[in-house]
Structure 1
Amino acid sequence: MENDVKPLLPAPSQTVNEGDEILARAKGYSFRLYDKVWVLDKNTSVYLRKIRDYISGDLLHGFLKTLSFYAANLSAGHTSELADGLLHFFKTTGADAICEIALINYRASLTTETEWRLGRCRTLLRQWHRLGYPGVTDEVIELLDQWRLKGSLKGEVVKRMDPVQGPLTDIELQGFNEAVVRAFELDQITLTELAMCLVISNTGRRPVQVSHLRVCDVVSGKNLKGEPFYGMNIPRAKQRTGFRASFKFCAVTQDLFAVVKAQAKSVILEAEHCLGFELQEADRQQIPLFPDLKAMSEVETPVGFREFTHTDKLHSRSAEFTETIQAVANRLGVHSERTGEELNISSRRFRYTTGTRAAREGFGELVIAELLDHTDTQNSGVYIKNIPEHAERLDEAVGFQLAPYAQAFAGVLVDSEKSAKRGGDATSRIRTEEGQGIGTCGEHGFCGANVPIPCYTCMHFQPWLDGPHPEVYQKLLAERERIKEITGDLQVAAILDRSIIAVADVITRCEKRREELKKRQEVTTDA
């Protein structure tokens, strides 16, 4: 049964007239009772035009007064959900009042999966009645109190490992991250887009949390043992403490830290250029990591900038993160090996992936709740009750089946060493452990990879047509099996899967290329 919000008694200062300005819970935002749109924070606007098609007079007044109570005391998102819930009630029933018959008809129109909608309405109506505004009778509350309503289903896409909406497989996750990094190296995406994508995919945090990050939140140092650590103090969401009032440290890899640190340095320059004046170092630390430069351009003085830092107005909208990762994935054509289609990407899928990977590693509800920044464990249990297995047995045949879809090989096949970029440079030659040449590296910079296995997923790799790629493939399969037997952990062995699939792709390409050359030679001979 859906939990109701504990009622808060409005203070005398919250009793307002229709034309008075009402302060939203988020600092810097206000509205008037009969405004058609209430802007409650950077990410949330409540549109009230449509509700007026169904209700008016005292009923409308009671609704708006009740909703304004939520807007002033609770989160903007919750307020918006309640408004949408009541609108759905009136749309579905066609009623012009809140009465027992309308509620009975509404419940009859819902299914087991959608009964949560009535639960949401009940939350609003109970508070409406408590506050004493017109529109909700004692009889309506008595009826609602008699019903046991089912809440929304949680974690269904996680349980069935939905290939479109559920958690990503390790291959899909790695494929997205590699594609994003590769795109940045090729100047196909900006540093900001790179940072947005990697922070969301690696931390599993909500977009609204990432949007509230600032330069000062990017931290590094040494622990008590003298070991370096890297991380971000990420603002918490869905808390009653307000904007940037509480934080949770999230450790990140050194590579991700380097990207985020570069983003921080970049936005300082961007912000000061946009502002038209330099900031003191303390003020620079308060610059959003992902700023709204249009809003920034409206700041006229350093004092004005400091006033804005108490609000979220200089931060990017959280929707921009979802839009960015979706646009980048579509632009780069990242595919799923499960569906064969372009990968459907959303920030929620990355959260599901973080929780699912933690469950597979044997972590319990408390740890998963901590990783996902949940206040309690009621939503983290779904990950451990039905742990899906991503890393199924990968044999010789399966590797070749997945190769066309996973697109793990990002380099260019060449007919011979002479045809390769830097083919005349002996230092660019890549060999197996036995000393056999398999390809050429087209990059002049330093690479610390443990060649040759990582080379197959690198865009600078140029495998030779006559390279011993089948032998590499068989060795990788054997190594995967050996690791699994030693560790007893299929997930550890699965680290090699993307490289295995990339080698399979190279072998397939070599076969096709040989057929092309053979046909060309036959045509030349006939001529």
Structure 2
Amino acid sequence: MGYEFDVYNDFWELDNSKKINWRLVKKLNLDKDLEEGFRRELAVFASEHSAYYTVNTFDWFKRIFVVTEDSKLKVSTIQNYLSEVGADEYKLGSVKAFVLDCYDKGYPGISSDVAKFLESLHLKGNEKGKAVSKGCPHSGAYTMQEQQSILEWAVNAFTDDELSLEEYAWLILSMYTGARPVQLRALAREDLLFDKAISGENQYQLRIPVAKQRSTKFREEFKQIEIDEDLALLLFNQFEKTKAEIKKQVNKDLPKELEKNIPVFPSQQAIKSIRSYEEAKATLLGQNRPDVLFMTSSGARNLMNAVSKKCMARTERLEGEFIKLTSRRFRYTLGTNAFRRGLGAYHIAEILGHKDIQNVKVYTENTHEVVDLIDEAMAPVLAPLAQAFAGTLIESERDAIRANDPRSRIKAGDGSGVGNCGEFGFCASGGRQCYLCTKFQPWVHGQHEKVLQSVLDERETLRKRGASEFVVQSTDRLVMAVTQVVQLCQEAKEEESVLEVSDE
């Protein structure tokens, strides 16, 4: 199933996000034979390849004539183009295959001289993963501390209704799977799979549509992964929200057999454009436009941008700046984490959905640049920048939100009190993890140094037992959070001393 268009129309709609405007070509005044061959070959391309790849090929082919200002495709045209684009010559690789295929089919506009020249042409490849291999704090993989910071902020923001269900689900799914936006926005209800293991335990799996394969069409191929119950329930709730929105639009329940086709992340505009129950049924059957109800590429981009603007998580690498969230960085992070866990290039390629390992080397090279283990001696310097502590410092228990509730008291490992919990609901964490919670109210005179020392001792024990640095890094943010509380308490005590002296 796909979109239909007239080859000689000025506009081709390839999917709900990608369109081709032939008026841009007409402005170039190309030779009529060349434009005819271009149209016919691109029409075949569109039927065999993804909309994304088709549009890119259109743009790259068109750019040759924008740069050279030629009206015909000659050997000199290609030579002049290569001299102008420099490092971007790899983009001609796709055009090369396109033009040669056009020539082989006998379409007009391509001479034998051009075909022979292209066959003999050796082009430089695209530089892979520079931001990853260089550990760029702006565009590369997130550090372990940054990942923990993002996750803690997201959970708290969703709990406090600062993030919508859709925003939270998109962010968590991006972090968990490292999938591209085009894959996430193509998810449907039927991709959420449930089963029971032999042991009787619930098992959850997610089918992720394959993307960025040139010949793959919308929801044609899938990669299946295991997910935990929390993520499964989150996605199911997001699906239920979409189903309710469609039901509200048509004022009627949808047939059960069509629920499987409902997108997890919808296009709100497309839902609002549905005019009847019958239209909703026809749309979900996807006979002509299978992706019409699914979120568009611009919708996915706007969604992640909205989450990023709300993000209050900070990075210790850029003097405490807020962390910028992008789908690409989450993908880089998934590959980098896989390498940190000791997986090889072929396993990383499989996780990321690559057909080969040429794009994976960036995760396995320059290892000294991606290992970001915090040095305990640097914790006092980095703690204020990372803003790991998210709670509120109080003078003593009498100032706590639940001052009269002994169950709210948080204790160190030796039983001494360190603060109170300001949450009235049930919490399964407790103890040291409270230092990372927005509801924690540490006391100025609490024994926080003992908690910090216990964490540092545990890290040293892990090292002696041969634990990987990846495991040790999992406590980096906790070290920063407790260190920050210790620093805040010291500052509060110093202020008390100044006030006592001034009162005398």
TM over 0.5: yes
Among 427, 431, 451, the alignment partner of 1:452 is 431
Find out whether 1:412 has 2:387 as its counterpart: no
TM-score of the aligned structures, taking structure 2 as reference length: 0.92
Q: Which moved more, 1:199-208 or 1:301-310?
A: 301-310
- 1:85 is displaced (CA, Å) by 0.7
Match runs of 1:288-327 below 5 Å:
288-309=263-284, 310=286, 311-327=290-306
TM-score of the aligned structures, taking structure 1 as reference length: 0.89
User: Is the partner of 1:85 in helix, strand or coil?
Assistant: helix
The equivalent residue for 1:499 is 478
- 1:393 is displaced (CA, Å) by 4.3
Contact 1:395–1:477 (Cα < 8 Å) also in 2: no
- 1:302 is displaced (CA, Å) by 4.7
Contact 2:183–2:211 (Cα < 8 Å) also in 1: yes
Match runs of 1:247-326 below 5 Å:
247-309=222-284, 310=286, 311-326=290-305
Contact 1:217–1:234 (Cα < 8 Å) also in 2: yes
- 1:513 is displaced (CA, Å) by 2.6
Query: Quick one: distance in 1 between partners of 2:27 and 2:225?
Result: 47
Deviations 1:372-429 (A, max 9, x none): 2233444334323444564544333311222122221111111111111112211100
Among 465, 475, 491, the alignment partner of 2:454 is 475
Query: Quick one: distance in 2 between partners of 1:169 and 1:144?
Result: 44
Contact 2:33–2:109 (Cα < 8 Å) also in 1: yes
Among 331, 351, 376, the alignment partner of 1:351 is 331
In the alignment, structure 1 segments of 5+ residues that lack a partner are 1-25
- 1:34 is displaced (CA, Å) by 4.1
Contact 2:49–2:217 (Cα < 8 Å) also in 1: no
Find out whether 1:45 has 2:19 as its counterpart: yes
Among 408, 413, 435, the alignment partner of 2:415 is 435
Check 1:433–1:149 CA distance in 2 against 1; reply closer, same or farther (3 A cut).
Answer: same
User: Is the partner of 2:247 in helix, strand or coil?
Assistant: helix
User: Is the partner of 1:487 in helix, strand or coil?
Assistant: coil
Query: Quick one: distance in 2 between partners of 1:517 and 1:96?
Result: 80
Check 1:177–1:71 CA distance in 2 against 1; reply closer, same or farther (3 A cut).
Answer: same
Query: Quick one: distance in 1 between partners of 2:406 and 2:470?
Result: 37
Contact 1:275–1:296 (Cα < 8 Å) also in 2: no
Count of residue pairs the alignment pairs up: 497
The equivalent residue for 2:440 is 461
Deviations 1:36-58 (A, max 9, x none): 43220022122333333223333
Match runs of 1:27-106 below 5 Å:
27=2, 29-56=3-30, 57-106=32-81
Check 1:391–1:468 CA distance in 2 against 1; reply closer, same or farther (3 A cut).
Answer: farther
Q: Which moved more, 1:182-191 or 1:266-275?
A: 266-275
Deviations 1:186-232 (A, max 9, x none): 11111111111111111111111111111222223222343332221
Query: Quick one: distance in 2 between partners of 1:138 and 1:35?
Result: 29
Query: Quick one: distance in 1 between partners of 2:501 and 2:303?
Result: 50
User: Is the partner of 2:296 in helix, strand or coil?
Assistant: coil
Deviations 1:137-188 (A, max 9, x none): 1111112222211121112222112221111111112211221111111111
Q: Which moved more, 1:349-358 or 1:123-132?
A: 123-132
Amino acid at match of 2:212: K
Check 1:389–1:446 CA distance in 2 against 1; reply closer, same or farther (3 A cut).
Answer: farther
In the alignment, structure 2 segments of 5+ residues that lack a partner are none
Check 1:351–1:121 CA distance in 2 against 1; reply closer, same or farther (3 A cut).
Answer: same
Check 1:305–1:375 CA distance in 2 against 1; reply closer, same or farther (3 A cut).
Answer: farther
User: Is the partner of 1:507 in helix, strand or coil?
Assistant: helix
User: Is the partner of 1:50 in helix, strand or coil?
Assistant: helix
User: Is the partner of 1:188 in helix, strand or coil?
Assistant: coil
Find out whether 1:142 has 2:121 as its counterpart: no
Query: Quick one: distance in 2 between partners of 1:320 and 1:172?
Result: 26
Contact 1:161–1:388 (Cα < 8 Å) also in 2: no
Check 1:94–1:508 CA distance in 2 against 1; reply closer, same or farther (3 A cut).
Answer: farther
| Structure of greater relative contact order (alpha carbons < 8 Å, 6+ residues apart) | 2
